[in-house]
Amino acid sequence: MREKAVKNRRAIIIAAIIILLVIAYILAYLLRFAWDIPIFYIGKLKRTIPLVIMIKLVSLAYFGQLEGYLRYVSIRDVVGIFKALFLSALTMVLMEYFFLDNSFPTSVVGIDFVISLMLLSGQRLSLRLLREIYAPIVPKSRERALILGAGDKAERLYRELRQNPDLAYDLLGFIDSDARKIGVRIHAKKVLGTFTELPGLIESKGVTVLINTYDKLDQNQTAILTKMRAQFKCSIRNVPSAADYITGKISTKRIKEISIVDLLGRETVELDHKKIEAQFSGKRIMITGAGGSIGSELVRQIVRFNPEELLLLDKDETLLYEIETDLRETGVTVPLQVLIGDIRNSDRMDIFFSKFRPQVVLHSAAYKHVPLMEVHPHEAVQNNVFGTMNVLTAAQNNGVERFVMISTDKAVKSTNIMGATKRLAEMIMFKAFDQGAMKCMAVRFGNVLGSRGSVIPLFQRQIDRGGPVYITDPEIRRFFMSIPEAAQLVLQAGAMSRGGEIFILKMGEPVKIKNLAYRLIEFNGYIPEVDIDVQYTGLRPGEKLYEELLTDLEGAVTTNHEKIMVINKAEDRDAQFLEKALRIRDNLFDLSNAQIRYYLKDLVPDYAPQKETEAV
């Protein structure tokens, strides 16, 4: 049925074009001879009509003007009609000059060109105009909307929404960050103001939804939007980047509620795809901790670079099942091996590495929760230190070419067990690099927005319960990065490395946790300290007010990537370093918390524990 309808539509379009072209050709003769065509030329008119129509149809077909939907006609189509008619006019003149011996006057060709252009263009533009004026069926219930942005993306969105009457939007106008655009009309709708005028406009016009077309919002703009959400209960929706669409058109089906991560305004990461593909394409790649927030995103990102095989290692069967199912459902064709195992089990690591022979390892498996690791330092050492050692040993023994370790800003001047164990794991990895051909590198970054156990899911649960929201200290600040951004930069740094480096991802300015909590409360439509209470509990064991991504002594330098810095200098490690690191492996759980801290302090000189915390 659909194919028949398409054929019928095309036949009707071609028939209408033929009628208009015949009318244009006859009018050209009438105008040329002042509405009194000589008998001699009437004969020529009748004889040449079929030839002229055939030439024009061939030209129109060549420029794609005999098919398509009239509802989507644009200036580009008018240009296509112009080119086709110009080509046909040129063809007619040449044929008349060389072959037809004055079959039609040259002036008729020129007049015919102008009339044909007017009729064909007018037909298409008028049909679209009539459709836009009369076709929309206005839904009974419509959301009163403002579009944020007044650029090309906003204009395309407006047209798409205008042409989809089933979408219940009453578009009131545009908001733009550039005050010079105020008053400018886009398809009869004005740019009404800037972000600072939003409160008054929302209130006076009864706006219920804001549709954002910006790829990135700055901190001032996001603060205004979250306040508007809390004050006026209006929703905020996001249009994906136009770069996501092959056709360049905005899909109105993908206008979705904006997320708090979107409102924190992290910039899009620019990747050197060729360099990443050169390192990872066609390789067998193992990701430890593949079910975690960072590990699973690394998996999703790396499938784009055509690895030979992905080895997904985690001890959590549920998380592994979820990431495997997600990949299968999204059509990923890269061969997958789902490996359930614990990095603390050295025999299991040896089996996996000897059987599957990975060439690249992305090591993200680790315990990361600071307060819990203060209470359970033995587990932190066993997993983050000796677990990493097991993976490194298996990698060295089985020909791994490149080893990328995911580290943390808490490894710098650490005051907690988690940070100290990650720093010690870095040092052990670089000792392995000193001893063999495997290229080893670490990538450090701060907190990841939306990851399991991070503050946003925690605050959201507290808000959902009606509060209070608990913050340790009103002045505590943290670096933040989105999950996709962190994973992309890990791959970029891993591709850049020549071995022996610590890469540091630039996190931007640290965010005050109090401000983040207030923003999230407003995002949910509440007013902080009025609808949702905020309480301060004091710093937890091992927690600092501020985190550093690097120390002045480490000498980080810039790289070719604007968001990545690197520490290149080798560390001084004595010959007995590994022996010292291994000396408590067999009797780890016989030691007290204080002895664990002494062990870490001996190996990690800049570790400065705050206070003793008894184990459970």
Smallest CA-to-CA distance from 88 within 111, 122, 54 is with 54
Q: Which of 410, 422, 514, 563 is catalytic?
A: 410
Provide the CA 379 distance to its chain's centre, in angstroms: 36
How far is residue 263's CA from residue 261's CA, in Å, rounded to a whole number? 5
For 361-396, b/e burial (b = at least 16 CB within 10 A) is bbbbbbbbebbbbbbbbbbbbbbbbbbbbbbbebbb
For 578-607, b/e burial (b = at least 16 CB within 10 A) is beebeebeeebeebebeebbebbeebbeeb
Smallest CA-to-CA distance from 502 within 548, 555, 544 is with 555
**How many angstroms separate the Cα of 536 from the Cα of each of 58, 390, 468, 471, 532?**
77, 41, 10, 5, 13
How far is residue 381's CA from residue 612's CA, in Å, rounded to a whole number? 16
How far is residue 479's CA from residue 264's CA, in Å, rounded to a whole number? 12
Structure token digits, residue 294? 């960072």
How far is residue 323's CA from residue 313's CA, in Å, rounded to a whole number? 11
Question: CA angle, corner 237, sides to 233 and 241, nearest 5?
Answer: 160
How far is residue 429's CA from residue 432's CA, in Å, rounded to a whole number? 5
3-class SS of residue 189? strand
How far is residue 41's CA from residue 67's CA, in Å, rounded to a whole number? 34
- Share of the chain residues as helix, strand and coil, in percent rounded to the nearest 5: 50, 15, 35
Question: Is 335 exposed, middle or buried, given 0-12, 13-18 or 19+ CB atoms closer than 10 A?
Answer: exposed
> What are the residues facing 352 on neighbouring strands?
none
For 542-565, b/e burial (b = at least 16 CB within 10 A) is bbbeebbbbeeeeebeebebebbb
Is 410 known to be catalytic?
A: yes
Q: Which residues are part of the catalytic machinery?
A: 410
